[in-house]
Structure 1
Amino acid sequence: MLTIAIDDEAFRTLLQTLQDRLQDMTPAMTGMGAEMESRVNRRFETRTDPVGRPWDGWAEATIKNYPYPGTPAAIKAGRSGNARLLDRYGDMLQGLSYQADANSVRVGFDQSYASFHEFGTRRMPRRGLLMANPQAGTLAPDDERAVIDVLGDFLFQQ
């Protein structure tokens, strides 16, 4: 009679480690949030959406009324703009943050008008920041891969 014995201790240890990590995924969620925050910051620098398409420039009316130093618009606003597309005074970019917990991460802005940029309006073109397709709620392929890499690193770290 032939007897085969299999030592599955290493397999059981790996499964237990994975199960333990899945109980509190805060470190993974924090990593995902930090990665997405960094990617959105780069989009302000490159002026491109999540799939790499350039943002449309300002409308003529925006250029005409922009609060450049010393202009009536700057005096009226009580401060001058920084000439950055989507972030006239720096408020929007400064409001970019993420919140992570054991099961989720939220990435976004504390300025309500950020949604107008993400989705666009009848008068303003979409200048995506977070999602490749905001109606579907999908990430760009590169963003998705980056988030999955963070998750994989967390789950399979030694």
Structure 2
Amino acid sequence: MKPKFKVVKKLKNLEKRVQAVKNMYDVTFLTAKISKDMEKEVGLRFRNEVDPEGRPWKGLAVSTLNRRQGLTRAQRKVKTRRRRGKTYKEIEAEMGLDKGGASSLFRAGKKRQSTRPKILQDQGYLRGSIKARHTKTEAIVGTSMKYAAVHNFGSPKRKIPQRRFMGLNRGQRIKYKDWIIKWKKGQLR
């Protein structure tokens, strides 16, 4: 019985070695692994709202927050004036509203969102468009959305701040270099 067990054990080791050699010559295994990991990292950046280095994205503009909360134009005007320290009485006089009109705008308006709106995820199209693919020599993560570059790099002309979600950080570079070394040795799984 013992000799058979040793033979089976040696065959299992041989099978692992053969698979490692196959993986060593199949570069698409490596590029597929790297591209999937890069896609996962971009998804984490959207979830945590940080750039590749872990710095938080710049917050949303007041106008964007108001639009997402479903406030009417009159409600936004009242909210802006309240932020500037004016009383409801002063606002009603400025806007020509009846007594109690400024505060009643919020009671009659849409219900506000209970959670903080997510940055770059109004409808979720950009985040959902991030896809990974690979070739024999490349690991690629990208999007087909035309406005992605404007958000990733920013646009001072259009007053859109830079909120990087694409790119490699130092930790990823080290991890992928380690994977390449392991792949060359036939140890990457």
Same fold (TM over 0.5): yes
User: Which residue pairs with 2:101 in the alignment?
Assistant: none
* Amino acid corresponding to residue 34 of structure 2 in structure 1: M
User: Which residue pairs with 1:36 in the alignment?
Assistant: 38
Give the superposition deviation at 1:71.
Answer: 6.0
State the identity as a percent.
25
User: Which residue pairs with 1:4 in the alignment?
Assistant: none
Consecutive unaligned residues of structure 2, counting only runs of 5 or more, are 1-20, 73-115
For the pair 1:150 / 2:179, whether they are aligned, the reply is yes
Larger Rg computed on CA atoms:
2
Residues 41-97 of structure 1 show CA distances to partners (whole Å, capped at 9, x for unaligned) of 11112111001111001011211222x4x667xxxxxxxxx9321121111111111
* TM-score normalized with structure 1 length: 0.68
User: Which residue pairs with 2:56 in the alignment?
Assistant: 54
Instruction: Name whichever structure is richer in helix by fraction.
Output: 2
* Paired residue secondary structure (2:174): helix
Matches within 5 A, 1:52-131: 52-66=54-68, 68=69, 83-122=117-156, 123-131=159-167
* TM-score normalized with structure 2 length: 0.58
Question: Which gives a bigger RCO, structure 1 or 2 (Cα 8 Å, sep 6+)?
Answer: 2
- Root-mean-square deviation (CA, aligned residues, Å) is 2.6
* Amino acid corresponding to residue 32 of structure 2 in structure 1: T
* Paired residue secondary structure (1:65): helix
Where does structure 1 differ by over 3 angstroms across 4 or more consecutive aligned residues? none
